[in-house]
């Protein structure tokens, strides 16, 4: 049975914004290893469209960026969207009864599935489908943007904490 984990970079004031701050080299390598070890990713449309950047090579990429792209391309992806009619390579579109589709996915897939996107995570959390929350906390204050928790924070209990790289702290919470 799969374990659904919602994890994203977050500012001190609670926002996720890939333009305001980025992982350092150590955290980026952590993400490469994480993608390689996961069973796949479950994305909302908006984050999937951002992540599709990794489907095409860019000549200016570093070796780590090429390694991430390779891992991401090999990674299974499921995309929840009511507006998309197709998705890219190694991706499956989920529309209609999202809860039934995700419950089936959890039952049929072994390993960890990353959940990407605060709105999707909110919906899945309300359905009782999120097994863990990973906050990669960064020392930035953005003053706005998309909040990590798209609605009220669910009751959580701290499972673990770990410093990764020079600036990020990984906080892992389980539903209480």
pLDDT digits (tens, 9 = 90+) for 102-147: 999 999 999 999 999 999 999 999 999 999 999 999 999 999 999 9
- Residue span of the structural domain in which 46 resides: 2-175
CA distance linking residue 128 with residue 106, whole number of Å: 12
| Residue 143 neighbours by CB under 8 Å, 6+ apart | 13
Q: Is the pLDDT of residue 21 over 90?
A: no
Q: How many domains does the chain have?
A: 1
pTM over 0.85: yes
- Are residues 89 and 73 in contact, defined by beta-carbon separation less than 8 angstroms? yes
Question: What per-residue confidence (pLDDT) applies to 17?
Answer: 85
pLDDT digits (tens, 9 = 90+) for 34-89: 999 999 999 999 999 999 999 999 999 999 999 999 999 999 999 999 999 999 99
User: What's the CATH number where 133 sits?
Assistant: 3.40.430.10
């Amino acid at each position: 049975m799969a374990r659904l984990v919602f994890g994203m970079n977050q500012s001190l004031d609670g926002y996720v914004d890939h333009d305001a701050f980025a992982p350092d080299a150590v955290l980026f390598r952590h993400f490469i290893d994480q993608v390689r070890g996961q069973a796949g990713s479950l994305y909302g449309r908006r984050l999937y469209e951002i992540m599709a950047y990794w489907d095409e090579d860019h000549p200016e990429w570093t070796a780590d960026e090429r390694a991430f792209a390779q891992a991401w391309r090999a990674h299974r992806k499921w995309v929840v969207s009511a507006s998309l009619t197709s998705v890219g390579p190694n991706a499956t579109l989920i529309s209609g009864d999202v809860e039934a589709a995700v419950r089936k996915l959890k039952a049929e897939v072994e390993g960890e599935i990353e959940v990407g996107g605060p709105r999707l995570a909110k919906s899945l959390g309300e359905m009782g489908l999120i097994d863990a929350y990973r906050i990669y906390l960064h020392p930035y204050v953005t003053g706005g943007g998309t909040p990590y928790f798209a609605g009220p924070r669910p009751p959580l209990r701290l499972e673990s904490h770990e410093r990764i790289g020079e600036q990020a702290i990984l906080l892992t919470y389980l539903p209480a």
